[in-house]
């Protein structure tokens, strides 16, 4: 693996599978009475958040703490960034604190890349979402969730709501059909998922109104459709994207009602999915817009499970970037070699 995680496109199939397999090991820690490993004791992880976040931020914090790292949470609001301090000066401050890893979310696409290549800091950089560009750990937790539900047993068909990663025959998502629906234009989640799902062998279809698809989407390794109803029956998972009003500077669709009618997932549409198929959402959800409350609260919707899986996946990423080569889950460690 590389020293930084900036883009899902940087991950080879082996890298991605190593992260997903390591995350399965980490998930076992969550079932223990004491959910903590000594692996990153003495290391410092800084969460550098220039943009609002609930799930990503708390799950990176929980992940670093479960690995016993020291965690510094930095949010731009209430810091010297509101006084006009630059990314460079902020980064130099973090370096002076001895940050071993910087987890960064920024409204500007490319900010994590700048941090990783600037020489301002020596630690690993993890992209927690940059503008409309990428969100690689979200794609990894989505793949982890899909693998748990859909991988393995290709003959008998995938099973829904199983506890483990299938029977081990499906380490990747080869041949699975994933439909990603909605505001692709503004979605770093969609972009990272298209890269990673392609690497893992899945077949991706994007569904959106033409106004919410990025220029050049025809060069992406996926299909594009404007008609949600025509793809549902062939989907193993359908991922609903939030309509990102805060990034919209124009009218991209006539009315919210019209959008929901054509591109929203309601109970009738959900019934058109194959029995084993799951409904995903990265959160936060606009209930009544891209997804109805009935679908969001149904047992086919994995939104809450995705959040839980996010902790295991982020533990795996931090461990692999910082932890080195020793096993994460050694049962027989002595005090000296912990
Ligand atoms: C996403 C994000 O911030 O990119 N959310 C998340 O990380 N769970 C998607 C979104 O904001 O709609």
Q: Domains in the chain, please, with CATH?
A: 8-134+306-336 (3.40.50.1370), 136-302 (3.40.50.1370)
Q: How far away, in angstroms, is 184 Cα from ligand 1 center? A: 12
Choose which residue among 112, 134, 189, 309 to substitute to test ligand 1 binding: the one with the highest number of ligand atoms within 8 A of its C-beta: 189
Q: Is 269 among the annotated ligand-binding positions?
A: no
Query: Hey, what are 171's tokens?
Result: 């380490």
| Three-point CA angle 156, 160, 165, nearest 5° | 80
Q: What local confidence, expressed as pLDDT, does residue 155 receive?
A: 40
Q: Strands across the sheet with 237-240, in order?
A: 223-225, 203-207, 177-181, 237-240, 278-280
- Whole-structure pTM value: 0.91
Q: Which residues contact 255 (CB under 8 A, 6 or more apart)?
A: none
Query: Pick from 247, 231, 251, 250: which is nearest to 239 by CA?
Result: 231
Give the Cα separation of 183 and 18 in Å (integer): 30
Residue pair 284/242 in contact by the 8 Å Cβ criterion: yes
Query: Pick from 82, 139, 74, 131: which is nearest to 246 by CA?
Result: 131
Mean pLDDT of 131-152: 95
Q: How far away, in angstroms, is 204 Cα from ligand 1 center? A: 19
Q: For the purposes of burial, counting CB atoms within 10 Å of the CB of 47, is it exposed (0-12), middle (13-18) or buried (19 or more)?
A: buried
| CA 329 vs CA 24, 38, 42, 321: distances in Å | 11, 9, 17, 16
User: What does pLDDT average to over the chain?
Assistant: 90
At 250, is the pLDDT very low, low, confident or very high (cuts 50, 70, 90)?
Answer: confident
At 114, is the pLDDT very low, low, confident or very high (cuts 50, 70, 90)?
Answer: very high
Q: Which residues contact 211 (CB under 8 A, 6 or more apart)?
A: 185, 252, 253
At 327, is the pLDDT very low, low, confident or very high (cuts 50, 70, 90)?
Answer: low
Does residue 167 surpass a pLDDT of 50? no
Q: What local confidence, expressed as pLDDT, does residue 161 receive?
A: 40
Does residue 290 surpass a pLDDT of 70? yes
Query: Pick from 214, 215, 230, 311: which is nearest to 272 by CA?
Result: 230
Q: Is 138 among the annotated ligand-binding positions?
A: yes
Q: What local confidence, expressed as pLDDT, does residue 288 receive?
A: 96
At 249, is the pLDDT very low, low, confident or very high (cuts 50, 70, 90)?
Answer: confident
Residue pair 139/236 in contact by the 8 Å Cβ criterion: no
Mean pLDDT of 163-174: 62
| In the chain, % of residues over pLDDT 90 | 79
Does residue 334 surpass a pLDDT of 90? no
Query: Pick from 320, 23, 327: which is nearest to 148 by CA?
Result: 23
Mean pLDDT of 198-212: 97
Task: Characterize 96-122 residue by residue with b for buried, 16 or more Cβ atoms within 10 angstroms of its Cβ, and e for exposed.
Answer: eeebbbbbbbbeeeebbbbbbeeebbe
Does residue 153 surpass a pLDDT of 50? no
* Ligand 1 atom showing the smallest separation from residue 189 Cα: 4
Q: Is 55 among the annotated ligand-binding positions?
A: yes
Mean pLDDT of 144-167: 60
Does residue 335 surpass a pLDDT of 80? no
Number of H helices, E strands in the chain: 11, 9
| In the chain, % of residues over pLDDT 70 | 90
Q: How far away, in angstroms, is 269 Cα from ligand 1 center? A: 24
Choose which residue among 111, 284, 310 to substitute to test ligand 1 binding: the one with the highest number of ligand atoms within 8 A of its C-beta: 284
Q: What local confidence, expressed as pLDDT, does residue 220 receive?
A: 96
Mean pLDDT of 123-137: 97
Residue-wise pLDDT tens digits, 39-59: 999 999 999 999 989 999 999
Minimum mean pLDDT range among 93-97, 119-123, 154-158, 231-235: 154-158
Q: What local confidence, expressed as pLDDT, does residue 260 receive?
A: 96
User: Ligand 1 in contact with 283 (CB < 6 A)?
Assistant: yes
Mean pLDDT of 168-193: 92
Torsion of CA 67, 61, 307, 131, to 10 degrees: -130
Q: What local confidence, expressed as pLDDT, does residue 31 receive?
A: 86
At 77, is the pLDDT very low, low, confident or very high (cuts 50, 70, 90)?
Answer: confident
Minimum mean pLDDT range among 14-23, 165-174, 326-335: 326-335
User: Ligand 1 in contact with 138 (CB < 6 A)?
Assistant: yes
Torsion of CA 213, 218, 223, 225, to 10 degrees: 40
Mean pLDDT of 150-170: 49
Residue pair 114/87 in contact by the 8 Å Cβ criterion: yes
Q: What local confidence, expressed as pLDDT, does residue 248 receive?
A: 87
Does residue 157 surpass a pLDDT of 50? no
């Amino acid at each position: 693996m590389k020293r930084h995680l900036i883009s899902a496109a940087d991950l080879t199939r082996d890298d991605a599978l190593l992260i997903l397999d390591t995350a399965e090991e980490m998930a076992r820690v969550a079932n223990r009475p004491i959910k903590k490993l000594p692996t990153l004791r003495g290391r410092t992880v800084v969460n550098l958040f220039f943009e609002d976040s609930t799930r990503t931020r708390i799950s990176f914090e929980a992940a670093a703490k479960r690995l016993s790292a020291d965690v510094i949470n930095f949010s731009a609001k209430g810091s010297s960034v509101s006084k006009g301090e630059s990314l460079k000066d902020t980064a130099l401050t973090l370096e002076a604190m001895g940050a071993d890893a910087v987890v960064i979310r920024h409204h500007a696409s490319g900010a994590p890349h700048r941090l990783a290549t600037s020489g301002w800091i020596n630690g690993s950089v993890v992209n927690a979402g940059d503008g409309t560009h990428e969100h690689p750990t979200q794609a990894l937790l989505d793949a982890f969730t899909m693998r748990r539900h859909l991988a393995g047993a290709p003959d008998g068909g995938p099973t829904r709501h199983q506890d483990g990663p299938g029977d081990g025959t499906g380490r990747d998502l080869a041949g699975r059909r994933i439909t990603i629906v909605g505001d692709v234009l503004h979605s770093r989640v969609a972009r990272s998922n298209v890269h990673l799902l392609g690497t893992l062998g899945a077949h991706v279809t994007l569904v959106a109104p033409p106004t919410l698809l990025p220029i050049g989407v025809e060069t992406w390794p996926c299909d594009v459709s404007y008609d949600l109803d025509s793809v549902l029956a062939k989907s193993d998972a359908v991922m609903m994207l939030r309509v990102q009003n805060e990034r919209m500077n124009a009218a991209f669709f006539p009315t919210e009602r019209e959008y929901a009618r054509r591109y929203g997932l309601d109970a009738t549409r959900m019934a058109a999915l194959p029995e084993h198929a799951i409904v995903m959402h990265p959160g936060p959800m606009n209930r009544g817009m891209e997804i109805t409350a009935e679908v969001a609260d149904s047992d086919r919707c994995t939104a809450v499970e995705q959040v839980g899986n996010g902790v295991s996946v982020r533990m795996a990423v931090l461990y692999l970037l910082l932890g080195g080569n020793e096993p994460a889950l050694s049962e027989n460690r002595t005090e000296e070699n912990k």
